[in-house]
């Protein structure tokens, strides 16, 4: 059931959830007010009091095209993400050896299935009862119903992965500190989230489809994502741009120039042009600013602080 969420124009604006600075109104979308910090520029949506975000994901309509802010088609998204899943596991292999992994927001377990074939011992967290059961049935692994439930199990993890999760959180800083509490010293954090610092997001935020509360609540740029993860106590933080299958971060002029060679086909990261761009991107880290999505790697410090 949809919940009414009228914009509260008279409400005092809350302080920034990352740095405590003053916030200013940015815009309203789907009936929610979105603010931006005047200091660190972190952007977030304001939720009505007692709004239970969990209901968004426990509703099956979120996964099968029944909600404008949900998955148009989970099965298609899962097929589209396969190449990215394999690339991520290969990158993970290069920075750590397999141990116990927790994926938060594991859905039907596409990433966990591949992680297991890379010798990881897998666990998930998933709010949706339908997806949780499906993942457990298909993979035979344990999937917790919440982060609190995972914490109560008193397991410690060598890798925690969260793909397109942090933008859904109302209090990402507290959540990421809690996540760190579940990790072994030197364990690896791997997460991805849309880049709200990309030109297309900043140029016209009103019509940018990723500003979609109540699904997306926290809107990160490379700088605010780095700040959030550092404040949560992680170190050795690296952020890279991600080239998604149907969203190449190219200037519009170049897309037009390439059109005769593409002959209507989508630009694929695995194709020749995609490979050239990736090579170029590796040597020009500032191109992160063009990427529509960010991928972050960090470590839990050897000693807690």
Half-sphere exposure of 281 (CA within 13 A, CB side): 21
- 88, two tokens: 């991520």
Residue 21 CB, nearest approach to Zn ion (Å): 4
C-alpha–C-alpha distance, residues 236 and 162, integer Å:
17
Q: CB-wise, 39 or 199, nearer to Zn ion?
A: 39
Stretch that binds Zn ion, among 10-18, 70-78, 113-121, 263-271 (CB under 5 A): 10-18
Q: Does 248 bind Zn ion (CB under 5 A)?
A: no
Q: CB-wise, 19 or 108, nearer to Zn ion?
A: 19
**DSSP run (H or E) holding 188:** strand 183-194
Size of the site for Zn ion (CB under 5 A): 8
Q: Does 15 bind Zn ion (CB under 5 A)?
A: no
Q: Does 301 bind Zn ion (CB under 5 A)?
A: no
Q: CB-wise, 35 or 84, nearer to Zn ion?
A: 35
Residue 23 CB, nearest approach to Zn ion (Å): 8
C-alpha–C-alpha distance, residues 100 and 150, integer Å:
13
What track of x and - describes contact with Zn ion for positions 19 through 58 (by CB under 5 A)? x-x---------------x-xx-x----------------
Helices (H), the chain: 54-58, 74-80, 82-95, 110-117, 129-139, 147-152, 172-180, 199-203, 222-231, 252-262, 272-283
| Alpha carbon 95 to its chain's center | 20
Q: Which of 33, 30, 35 is CA-nearest to residue 3?
A: 30
Q: CB-wise, 19 or 143, nearer to Zn ion?
A: 19
Q: CB-wise, 41 or 126, nearer to Zn ion?
A: 41
The answer to whether the CB of 228 falls within 8 A of the CB of 17 is no
C-alpha–C-alpha distance, residues 94 and 63, integer Å:
33
Stretch that binds Zn ion, among 11-19, 43-51, 210-218, 244-252 (CB under 5 A): 11-19
| Alpha carbon 48 to its chain's center | 23
Residue 259 CB, nearest approach to Zn ion (Å): 41
Residue 172 CB, nearest approach to Zn ion (Å): 12
Q: CB-wise, 21 or 271, nearer to Zn ion?
A: 21
Query: Interface residues with Zn ion (CB under 5 A)?
Result: 16, 18-19, 21, 37, 39-40, 42
């Amino acid at each position: 059931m949809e919940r009414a969420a009228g914009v509260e124009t008279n409400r005092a604006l809350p302080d920034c959830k990352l740095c405590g600075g003053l916030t200013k109104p940015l815009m309203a979308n789907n009936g929610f007010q979105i603010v931006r910090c005047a200091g660190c520029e972190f952007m977030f949506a304001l939720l009505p009091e007692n709004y239970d975000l969990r209901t968004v994901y426990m509703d099956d309509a979120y996964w099968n095209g029944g909600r404008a802010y949900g998955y148009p088609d989970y099965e298609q998204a899962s097929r589209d993400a396969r190449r990215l899943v394999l690339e991520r596991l290969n990158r993970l292999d290069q920075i750590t050896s397999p141990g116990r992994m927790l994926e938060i927001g594991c859905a039907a377990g596409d990433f966990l299935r591949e992680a297991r074939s890379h010798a990881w011992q897998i666990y998930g967290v998933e709010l949706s009862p339908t997806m949780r059961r499906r993942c457990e049935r298909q993979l035979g692994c344990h999937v917790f119903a919440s982060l609190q439930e995972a914490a109560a199990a008193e397991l410690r993890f060598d890798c925690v992965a969260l793909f397109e999760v942090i933008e859904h959180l109302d209090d990402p800083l507290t959540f990421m500190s809690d996540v760190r509490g579940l990790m072994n010293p030197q364990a690896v954090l791997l997460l991805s989230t849309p880049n709200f610092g990309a030109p297309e997001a900043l140029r016209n935020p009103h019509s940018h489809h990723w500003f979609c509360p109540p699904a997306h609540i926290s809107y990160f740029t490379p700088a605010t994502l780095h700040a959030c993860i550092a404040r949560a106590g992680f170190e050795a933080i690296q952020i890279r741009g991600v080239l998604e299958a149907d969203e190449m971060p190219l200037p519009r002029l170049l897309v037009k120039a390439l059109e005769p060679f593409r002959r209507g086909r989508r630009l694929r990261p695995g194709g020749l042009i995609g490979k050239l761009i990736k090579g170029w991107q590796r040597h020009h880290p500032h191109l992160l600013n063009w990427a529509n999505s960010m991928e972050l790697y960090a470590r839990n410090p050897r000693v807690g602080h």
